[in-house]
Amino acid sequence: MADILPKRTPQTIADERVTQILRAADSWAADVPAPLTPSVRAVCIRLAEMIADARHAHRPNPDQLDPDAAQALDLIAARLRAPATIRGLEGELEALSALELRATGAWAVVPSAQSEWTATAITYLEQRAATLPASEHPGDYWADDLVAGVIASIRALVAG
């Protein structure tokens, strides 16, 4: 008789997803000039937090979730806000908050807020890149491509 695998707990799922999200953030950050690495990691973490946060409609499946899945998403969002996760990125995250990127209740009820958030993330990354010498600037539309890619990959991880 085949062994029955134990059911994965919301905590285990959250641990796995956060590890995958942080790995993805490192991967996205590896493709930009080194001075932009913290900015890219901060945007990735903030986007993932907002996608996982059950209050937001940015998640890939708006249908009612089973209680374990909903708990896992809440745990993912909480762990992405935890001091251990954001250590070294506090300044970047404060700058994002200054641009009103922080999750709000409006995110869940105003569809245009998602587009505004995405546009703000792109603007934030472009502002950071503008501080680099011209020879180090990423290509045209790099921030647009990065934010779109991050959203797609994080949605896949969170829905996984």
Query: Per residue of the chain (160 residues), what is the pLDDT tens digit?
Result: 456 767 789 999 999 999 999 999 999 999 899 999 999 999 999 888 887 875 555 445 555 667 788 888 889 999 999 999 999 999 999 888 877 644 454 555 556 667 777 888 899 999 999 999 999 999 889 999 999 999 888 888 776 6
User: Looking at the domain assignment, is residue 71 inside a domain?
Assistant: yes
Does 132 fall in a domain? yes
User: What is the pLDDT at residue 103?
Assistant: 45
In whole angstroms, give the CA distance from residue 68 to residue 11: 9
Please, which residues have CB within 8 angstroms of residue 59's CB and are 6 or more apart in sequence?
51, 52, 73, 155, 158, 159
Q: Does residue 22 fall inside a structural domain?
A: yes
Question: Per the structure block, which two tokens stand in for 73?
Answer: 């998403």
In which domain, by residue range, is 69 found? 10-159
DSSP state of 104: -
Domain count, the chain: 1
Owner of token pair 């647009």: 144
Residue with tokens 């493709």: 31
Question: Within a domain: residue 131?
Answer: yes
pTM surpassing 0.85? no
Quote the pLDDT of residue 84: 94
Q: Is residue 60 part of a domain?
A: yes
Q: What is the pLDDT of residue 54?
A: 56
Within-domain flag for 92: yes
Does residue 28 fall inside a structural domain? yes
Place of tokens 């501080």: 131
Q: Look up residue 63 and give its DSSP letter.
A: S
Residue 65's SS3 state is: coil
Residue 41 lies in a domain: yes
